[in-house]
Chains A and B, each alone.
Chain A
Amino acid sequence: MFKATLKSLLSRKLRLVLSALAVVLGVMFVSGSFVLTDTLQRSFTDLFSSAFANVDVSVTPKAEKGKEPVPLTPQAISDVKSVPGVSSAIGDVQGSARPIGKNGKVITTSGSPRFGFNWTGTGQEKIRDGKAPAGENEVALGAYLATTGDFKVGDDIALLTLEPKKTFKITGIYEYAGGRDSLGGELSVAFTEPVAQQLLLGKKDVFSGITVTAAQGTTDDALRDAVAAKLGSGYDVKTGAVLAKEQADQINEGLKFFNYVLLGFAGIALFVGIFIILNTFSIIVAQRTRELALLRSMGASRGQVIGSVVLEALVIGLIASIVGLGAGIGIGALLAKIFSSVGGTDLQLASIGVPMTAIISSFAVGMIVTVVAAVMPALRASRIAPVAAMREAATPDRPLTKITITGALVAAAGGTSLAFGFNQASLPLIFGGILVAFVGVALLTPIMSKPMVSLIGRLLSWSMPGLLGRRNSARNPRRTAITAAALMVGISLITGVSVVLTSATKSIEKLATGQLQTDLIVSGEGQMEGEPATFRRDVLTKIEKTDGVKSAVGWSQDGVLEGENQLFAVGVTDMPAMATMFALKPKSGTIAPLKDDQLALPEEMAAEKGWSVGSKVTLQLAKGEPKTYTVGFIWVKSQVLQGALVLPESASANFRSDQIAQAFVQVSPGVSAADVQKRVEPLFADNPEITVQDRSAFVKQTTSQFDTVLLMIQILLALAILIAVLGVINTLALSVIERTRELGLLRAIGMRRSQVMRMITVESVVISVFGAVLGLAVGLALGIATVQALKDQGISEIGLPWMTMVQYLVVAAFVGVIAAILPAIRAARLNVLDAIAYE
């Protein structure tokens, strides 16, 4: 039996390749994710251990919760120096410094830090060209920044620090051990110590940390304990190794999440793969019915027949897993390479490694998926009576009642789980519900396929080949349905996400036009990351005085502590003007300028805290002593201003930065916002991180991130769709084999090769478009359900991405044409005589 199975397997190489390909792709995605994240994790670990290679022990001031750390004084450095076992103790100055490129725009990175520091000559940096900075107007650049911004020794460079734009002369360019341009894609600038202190920390004679090296014979741990004992509390004293590990762990935590996302998409791809393999095995078993019947008639038991099919699946799963693992290692390595070179990270890659998890999951996933998909057809094969099967291998039209009822029940179960999931905000329930609903809908597709296919097919069947193609696709509803369902999964997920994002965009647009009564918005880069670029207060005054400005409001922002709770607070310049611009309605209290000890907040926050007008609230700001405020005004829940505590302008002085983070401008009646914008923009000529936008541009910027999200999801789901396309090819190819004699007959009575190809293409397009239509319908349902569930989160409008949906439909039709190419060529090339004689 074993031999018979293997022989049958080997004699059908094409079938083997086709059914294995879906598994190969899925396994490739799984193992590729593991290899990629493993390689990146080790690379980052290497990066941080080299970044802290010169640090035996590091001292930083301890940050009290909610308070800005007090910078170190020169006294602390001399204290550390006096500790026995200390070889050297050097004061570090480090802070944010953003370089401005030659095009006048701020140079950005994709996540790597931009900072400045004091040149001490004792760090890892080695001068490559020129010399170290010595004068007040001199800096040295990291080689990576020099390359990125095309700077040379002798050039000028403008930098943004705590102070506005300032221009420096580049005296030198430095590199790291091994001639590396950077440690990990960071953009760094070295100043002289006094300049660094002034620009980066805002004060002379302060330091942000101390780098300590141990004398010979002193261990890092002993040194750490000695230094900590000397300095007392108020300082964080850590060894370099611990620091490296802490930082690497932080990055690796992020990578782990990234890995889960990739594995999630791999899961979707494999889920689609199951459809394809199930279909392939169903067709294979149908074609092998006579062969299996012959085995049965010679005395093979049902178990042996099932065993033979499952064995075939195991062999395919094993081969596919091996190939998929290999391909995954290649893809993982390739992606890591792309990440390190294209991503603007300049990351030194560790050697490509294959973690055990990649190998185990590859084989587990590949084999399990294949066998699970093969069991159903195997069971069916074993039930066929030998004699019945040996007569004519015609596929009987089994009734669809059972499958339809099952499908309805499963879909209902999925929907229920989804509803519960939304209700409880439980992700597992939601995702589980979606998957189960997919299975349910897939089971319902055969019954839908008859009317749908004939409807879609009607558009394509103006000629005889078209009619035949359409009839062929309606011929085996289960096969067509499963093939289409595989395509449905990917398309419905994209459609669903796209519905949610379109709705979100629409909701934001509506809010902006309805509730944001401001004409211009002034904001800095990094608003989304929580550390926006800011500008000086006197600029706000200048805006107010600009011709055509009716009123201008600005705020500085920071986190404040209320007991143990961190709250987001803004220090606003003009409360009544702000209330007008954000269309705030009083819930209680009145709209009036805030007194120095008053605050305002939204009703939902007041309800959560149990505060009402007149309540006393004690807040600890970043600087100074705790201060008690009285609630003066509570506004009715607003979608545009939520989650923020509004403090008087005077509070800004105790924020970490009292500069303005965002400002809003209303223009005088009859004045065009564009004209005012032109007059306001020059005020920020020396601050390229600040942009002045009108309302629609601001909305567009806010919603543009959705496009990126959609693009990412489309890319990641492309694999699921690719596998679905393979499924279409697979189904067609196997159908062509199955219908060899029919094709022979058609050719014998005069059908041209081109007509045969058209016939196959129509069948393919019908299946693909059917899948797309299903996907769009299910996606719409999913998307609308999600939007409904997110109503409380501010998505109040339902927006349907019609254009995108039409695009998917067109793409599906195109995909159908592509998928048909190979099977159609195969069909057209059939030798007429052989085909007629084909058994």
Chain B
Amino acid sequence: MSASDGVAARAVDVWKSYGSGDAAVTALAGVSVDLDKSRFTAIMGPSGSGKSTLMHCLAGLDDVTSGEVWVGGTKVTGLKDRGLTELRRDKVGFIFQQFNLLPTLTAEENITLPLAIGGKKVDKEWFDVVVDTVGLRDRLTHRPTQLSGGQQQRVACARALVSRPDVVFADEPTGNLDSQSGAEVLGFLQRSAREFGQTIVMVTHDPNAASYADRVIFLKDGHIVRELLSPSAEEVLDTMKHLDSVVAVPHV
């Protein structure tokens, strides 16, 4: 089985538990999900629902206890460190909640870092498009300490996009930002999916952030329990409120 056309990343019956014996904690209990290409997907759920674990497993940052994970045409499960490193470098982009940039590099160097690490040439045209989209043209020579939080996060977005990865994973990208900066970042992610066809997967607990997504998947106790397509913030909030009463149903 491979991730067929139209699917950027796929999880098949993924289980993930930590520890062993009595102390074992199951973070993911048989999660299967297809993440469509060129879509902006949000993964939501309360604390401890397994949403971050799911993202880490999909991105090759963490291994699965059982099941399979695919990104693009690559089977992630079973890859060794070198393969995982190359996967992260070439097929995946990351945006973290905080500490996204290297303090010793300028904004421009930070953006092109994945390409430099891989020894690849920068596609100048694409770089310009990305930089103009995030609005950082006049900040390229600045060091991270000279940038605001929102600007730093936009640099991180640009970095994630510049290598045209199969999937960009964003882990609470707006968690540390004020609402105005957060809106800018989310708007940018939305545009990337719509205008550039970039697949984006975002983990968040903020209903407002989730409302920017084309599809929202709800996780609870390691199961996918609901999903909404292009919901409003109210719908998301509402769903979240009722998650407690929802009985987990295996995703088909």
Contact = CB atoms under 8 A, between A and B. Distances in A.
Contacts of B114: 749-750
B94 A749 contact: yes
B117 A833 contact: no
A751 B117 contact: yes
A750 B88 contact: yes
Contacts of A742: 99, 102-103
Contacts of B145: 394
A750 B118 contact: yes
B201 interface: no
Contacts of A463: 119
A748 B61 contact: yes
Contact of B85 (A472, A475, A751): A751
A464 B61 contact: no
B62 interface: yes
A607 B145 CA distance: 74
Contacts of A833: 56, 61-62
Most chain B CB neighbours (cut-off 10 Å) among A465, A472, A748, A751:
A748
A471 interface: yes
Question: Range of interface residues on chain A?
Answer: 20 to 34
Given A464-B113, A475-B104, A755-B117, A749 B89 contact: yes
A741 B100 CA distance: 9
A832 B85 CA distance: 10
Contacts of B113: 464, 746, 749
A745 interface: yes
Contacts of B56: 833
A749 B62 contact: no
Instruction: Give the secondary structure class of A's interface.
Output: helix
Interface string B72-116: 000000000110011011101110100111111100000001101
Nearest to A472: B104
Chain B: number of interface residues, binned into ranges: 20 to 34
Contacts of A617: none
Contact of A745 (B89, B90, B102, B104): B102
A747 interface: yes
Nearest to A750: B89
Given A468-B104, A741-B99, A836-B96, A752 B82 contact: yes
A475 B118 CA distance: 24
Contacts of B93: 749
B19 to A, nearest CB: 15
A830 to B, nearest CB: 12
Interface string A384-405: 0000000000100000000000
A15 interface: no
B167 to A, nearest CB: 13
Contact of B102 (A468, A474, A832): A468
Contact of A749 (B81, B88, B119): B88
A465 B88 CA distance: 17
Contacts of B92: 750
Interface in A449-464: 463-464
A65 B103 CA distance: 79
Contacts of B100: 745
Given A751-B85, A832-B61, A746 B90 contact: no
A114 interface: no
A751 B105 CA distance: 15
Interface string A748-777: 111111010000000000000000000000
B94 A464 contact: no
Contacts of A753: 81-82, 85
Nearest to A474: B104
A519 B216 CA distance: 99
B223 interface: no
Nearest to A469: B104
A394 B117 CA distance: 26
A752 B116 CA distance: 12
Contacts of B89: 749-751
Contacts of A394: 145
B85 to A, nearest CB: 5
Contact of B116 (A464, A832, A836): A464
B220 interface: no
Contacts of A747: 85, 88
- Centre residue among B85, B92, B118, B119 by max chain A CB count within 10 A: B85
Contacts of A475: 103-104
B100 to A, nearest CB: 7
B39 interface: no
A752 B85 contact: yes
A749 B86 contact: no
Contacts of B103: 475, 742
B159 interface: yes
Contacts of B118: 750
A748 B117 contact: no
Interface string A158-193: 000000000000000000000000000000000000
Contacts of B116: 464, 467
A497 B194 CA distance: 72
Nearest to B105: A471
A463 B101 CA distance: 19
A464 B102 CA distance: 12
A539 B78 CA distance: 90
Nearest to A753: B81
Nearest to A752: B85
B82 A745 contact: no
Contact of B86 (A468, A750, A836): A750
Contacts of A464: 113, 116-117, 119
Nearest to B160: A749
A256 to B, nearest CB: 53
Interface string B127-161: 00000000000000000010000000000000100
A397 to B, nearest CB: 9
B92 to A, nearest CB: 8
Nearest to B62: A833
Nearest to B89: A750
Nearest to B171: A836
Contacts of A746: 102, 113, 117
Nearest to B96: A836
Interface string A427-470: 00000000000000000000000000000000000011101100
A741 B86 CA distance: 20
A750 B99 contact: no
A635 to B, nearest CB: 69
Interface string A470-509: 0110110000000000000000000000000000000000
A752 B90 CA distance: 12
B104 A750 contact: no
A745 B96 contact: yes
Interface in A701-760: 741-742, 745-753, 755
Interface in A239-261: none
A748 B99 contact: no
Interface string B56-71: 1000011000000000
7 contacts: A394-B145, A471-B104, A474-B104, A749-B88, A750-B88, A750-B118, A832-B61
Given A748-B61, A750-B86, 19 more contacts: A464-B116, A468-B102, A468-B104, A468-B105, A471-B105, A475-B104, A741-B99, A746-B102, A746-B113, A747-B85, A749-B88, A749-B89, A749-B93, A749-B94, A749-B114, A750-B92, A752-B82, A753-B81, A836-B96
Interface of B: 56, 61-62, 81-82, 85-86, 88-90, 92-94, 96, 99-105, 113-114, 116-119, 145, 159
Closest 8 CB pairs of A and B: A750-B89, A471-B104, A464-B116, A750-B88, A749-B114, A751-B117, A752-B85, A741-B99
